[in-house]
A = this chain, B = another copy of it.
Amino acid sequence: MTLKKTDRRITRTRRMIIEAFTLLMEEKGFEAITVSDLTEKADINRGTFYQHYKDKYDLLEQSEKEIFEGLNKIVVTFWHHANYDVEKVMKVDDLLPLSIQLFEFIGENYQFMRVLLGPKGSPSFQNKLKHVIIDTLLHRFSPFLKEDHVMVPPDYLLAYISSAHLGLIQHWLESGMDRSPEEVARILSQTAIFGPVKVSGIQI
């Protein structure tokens, strides 16, 4: 079954809507935005917007979904390639390439993520992203935890790590991505080494 190619007009129209959405969120905040605002800023017909999205809430939902799906796809693809087995001992540096890819993806969606995570963005986005980090990423490492080595309750550990990740991502975005994805991935890796990793018992 061959994958049907999307008409480039659809892709283009959606990109224009997202760009307008991002600018308007920064300008006036999600709640104050109207569909008319969006279509004016995107320079498209109002009817066209309704062809793509039900309303502005649907737009937010689908936009966030795309971000989460993008992140998830990266992790799934990485895992598939890495072909990890519980028998193998995992080293922290094994995850550096994954980290870099994730930060590159975030960088590609910089404006949108920065706005969403900012003061005028979606209040629930932070929470959703945190859960994505937990479900998509951190739960994959559960099998690698040496249960008799775990010094703290796992749920607290996950809450700690995911919030730390989120905080670091937010700082990177707020400072205009002043470091490369590689650099920030290393910062994350090295910060984790002398923190959560040790308490988890994963070999360094």
Contacts and interface: CB of A to CB of B under 8 A. Distances in A.
Interface in A157-187: none
Contacts of A54: none
Contacts of A12: 43
A12 B8 CA distance: 14
Protomer copies? 2
Interface residues of A, number: 5
A46 to B, nearest CB: 12
Interface string A110-146: 0000000000000000000000000000000000000
A52 to B, nearest CB: 16
Contacts of A43: 8, 12
A12 to B, nearest CB: 7
A106 B43 CA distance: 24
A45 to B, nearest CB: 8
A12 B42 CA distance: 11
A18 to B, nearest CB: 16
Nearest to A9: B9
Interface string A1-16: 0000000100010000
Contacts of A44: 8
A43 B12 CA distance: 9
Contacts of A8: 43-45
Interface in A41-55: 43-45
A44 B44 CA distance: 17
A44 B8 CA distance: 8
Nearest to A16: B12
A36 to B, nearest CB: 15
Interface of A: 8, 12, 43-45
Which 4 interchain pairs have the tightest Cβ spacing? Answer: A8-B43, A12-B43, A8-B44, A8-B45
